[in-house]
Amino acid sequence: MYKILPISIYLRVLIRNKKLNILFDNPNLGIWSANIQDDKVICTSKGVEYITGYKKECFNGAQQWASIILNEDMHLFYNNQRKLKSGQNISQQYRIKHKSGKLKWIKDYTIPTFDHLGNIIRLDGIISDITEQKLLEDQLNFLANYDSLTKLPNRKKFIEELEQLIQSYAKSNEHFAVIKLDIDNFKYINDTLGNEIGDELLQKYPNRIKKHLASQDIIARRSGDGFAILIKQIESFDALIEKVKNIYECLKAPFIIKEYKLYVTTSFGISTFPENGFTSSEILRNARLALSIAEKEGKDNFHLLSPSSSHESYKQYCIGRDLKKALEDNEMTLYFQPRICTKTNKIIGAEALIRWNHPVWGIIPPNEFLPLAEENGLITEIDYWVLNVACQQINRWKQKGLRVVPISINISGVQLIKPDWIHKVEKVLHDANIKPSELEMEITEHILLNDSEMVKQSLTKLKALGIKLALDDFGTGYSSLSYLSQYPFDIIKIDRAFIRNMDNSKRELHLIKSIIYMIRGLNLRVVAEGVETMKQLHILQQEQCHEIQGYLFSKPTPAKEFEILLQNNILTPSLPNYKDQF
């Protein structure tokens, strides 16, 4: 009768002929053959001994092999045994306990042989040690899904978990909550005490929170100082609030890091499923919205987006939803606010400020929609739109024979790390036929905080093109005087918060005088923003602040009205009408 030779016997024949002894002696590859009918191992190669740590005599039959497989992986192994009986070759991966006690991942490829009655009579197989490959896979998986500093799930992993939960709750009445948290003063701690202290705080902070979470709940690191929690089961809103209160309270005690006692405050934004959305992006957006409300209400605070969303939160929701369409539908427009020379009251420049004329909500100021645009990436399109429209407007005024003054546009930080921004600017200037000296760009201090070489290079290139650069909102961020000399600014705009307090606080007055003196000393132009009173104007004139921008001279106005101001050339101060601020 025709008899099939087991692989091992066949191999042995070849080995005897010295043809395949490299394979049979290879320590990384174990070849084996077992007789199923009398449960006897026919042969094992050296590799089996090396990979398992056991001599071949230890493996009499299937039972001994199964005894070294890790309990957790046993079900895999047995499931596959069934497949073998049905005639399939199998390739499986599982863990074994090496004789030394170490765990090893192995890949096991097994081929069954049957007799003419269809009974399985023998198994032949090859095993290989894939522990290192598995370790590498684990590391890659960790890097893709976890934050290396805190070892917490990252944003991607958090969203995956959220989506899974939404799927499993789709047909049930279960509720869950997403909480977004921001450490309010983290940047300040990081900047003043250094990254090392900041890093340690970021590690200790979630550990405290974890003590108040159920084992199935998840805390993830969303961004620098932002965390997110997924509370997988909530019994009632009261219970949820209670839980948040406990977390809020536990963060109040100081964090002891090195010699520092750090008090941090946290803002929380909470949204729940299904009340605040059915998709992960809706739930996350609403948690962010709740967070921004909490921050607006004075930080160190929490806000739960209630099912009966207030008018304000509903508006915010619509803004986020309609933003992309707004650009396409021409709902955005630019207003212009003049900058006045303090000596002559002449208009010597203007700032272009974006407005959104929403079909339902009317004029929406930028502070209400730009943070959302920054979050969903639309800010790039918005900045590009502003650049184009401002340049075309300058060109139109020139064509009309008006005296044009430089127009400044505000740009967000993302542009400065995009290699194509400079080329886009050059092209827009060229297409609109305007000179670089007719355009200025304003950036805020926080963009400089990362001290990125790329930002520095972009600013240098813009300056080399001939565009003047202004540092906006000076004094609101983490003002480092070194920015003034490190970066190629021409103009410093002092934030209106300083100007506002100038007439009722001696300290602020002194501060503002020193700031103006210092900026002038560096040969930079100084602009005071938000000037609203004659008293402020007089002080600024006295201190030889070069330019003024504020409601005292003009609020931001549509292009048509700005044209009239340009024609008048000189403006007279008049007290602002607060009813109509835009």
Under the binding rule (CB under 6 A), the answer on residue 108 touching ligand C2E is no
Which one of Mg ion, ligand C2E, none is in contact with 550 (Cβ closer than 5 to 8 A by kind)? ligand C2E
Q: How far is residue 559's CA from residue 549's CA, in Å, rounded to a whole number?
A: 17
Phi-psi region of 470 (alpha: psi -120 to 50; beta: other; left: phi over 0): beta
What are φ and ψ of residue 165, in 5° steps? Answer: -65, -40
Please give the residues from 352 up to 411 whose contact with ligand C2E meets the rule CB under 6 A: 353-354, 365-367, 370, 383, 386, 409-411
Out of 24, 336, 551, 562, which residue is the one contacting ligand C2E (CB under 6 A)?
551
Minimum distance, C-beta of residue 193 to ligand C2E, in the bound complex (Å): 28
Of 300-359, which residues contact ligand C2E (CB under 6 A)? 337, 353-354
Contact residue for ligand C2E among 80, 128, 380, 412 (CB under 6 A): 412
Tokens of 465: 């093109």
Q: Which does 530 bind (CB under 5 to 8 A by kind): Mg ion, ligand C2E, none?
A: ligand C2E
Find which of ligand C2E, Mg ion, none residue 218 binds, CB within 5 to 8 Å per kind: none
Which entry of Mg ion, ligand C2E, none binds 556, CB below 5 to 8 A by partner kind? ligand C2E
> Look-up: residue for tokens 């546009």?
409
Q: Choose among Mg ion, ligand C2E, none what residue 108 binds, the Cβ cut-off being 5 to 8 Å by kind.
A: none
For the CB of residue 532, give the shortest distance to ligand C2E in the complex, in Å. Answer: 5
Nearer to ligand C2E, 198 or 556 (CB): 556
- On the question of a cis peptide bond just before residue 153, with omega within 30 degrees of 0, the verdict is no
* CA 578 from centroid of its chain's CA atoms: 37
Binding site for Mg ion (CB under 5 A): 410, 442, 472-473, 529
- Which of residues 12, 496, 525, 546 is near ligand C2E by CB under 6 A? 496
Residue with tokens 């863990």: 95
Shortest distance, position 326 Cβ to ligand C2E, whole Å: 13
473 close to 444: Cβ distance less than 8 angstroms: yes
Enter the tokens of residue 62.
């299937």
Least gap, CB of 387 to Mg ion (angstroms): 14
According to DSSP, the residues that pair with 223 across neighbouring strands are: 226
Query: What kind and span of H or E run contains 122?
Result: strand 120-129
Rounded to an integer, what distance in angstroms lies between the CA atom of residue 378 and that of residue 324? 7
Q: Rounded to 5 degrees, what are φ and ψ at 491?
A: -130, 140
What are the backbone dihedrals phi and psi of residue 95, each rounded to the nearest 5 degrees, phi first? Answer: -105, 140
Residue 442 interacts with ligand C2E (CB under 6 A)?
yes
Q: Where are the alpha helices (DSSP H) in 301-420?
A: 311-328, 366-376, 379-399, 413-416
Q: Residue 95's beta-bridge partner residues? A: 105
Which of 200, 445, 472, 543 binds ligand C2E (CB under 6 A)? It is: 472
Complex with ligand C2E: residue 322 or 442, whichever CB lies closer: 442
Side-chain-side CA neighbours of 267 within 13 Å: the count stands at 21
**Closest to ligand C2E by CB, 98 or 555:** 555
Q: Where does this chain bind ligand C2E (CB under 6 A)? A: 337, 353-354, 365-367, 370, 383, 386, 409-412, 442, 472-473, 496, 529-532, 549-551, 556
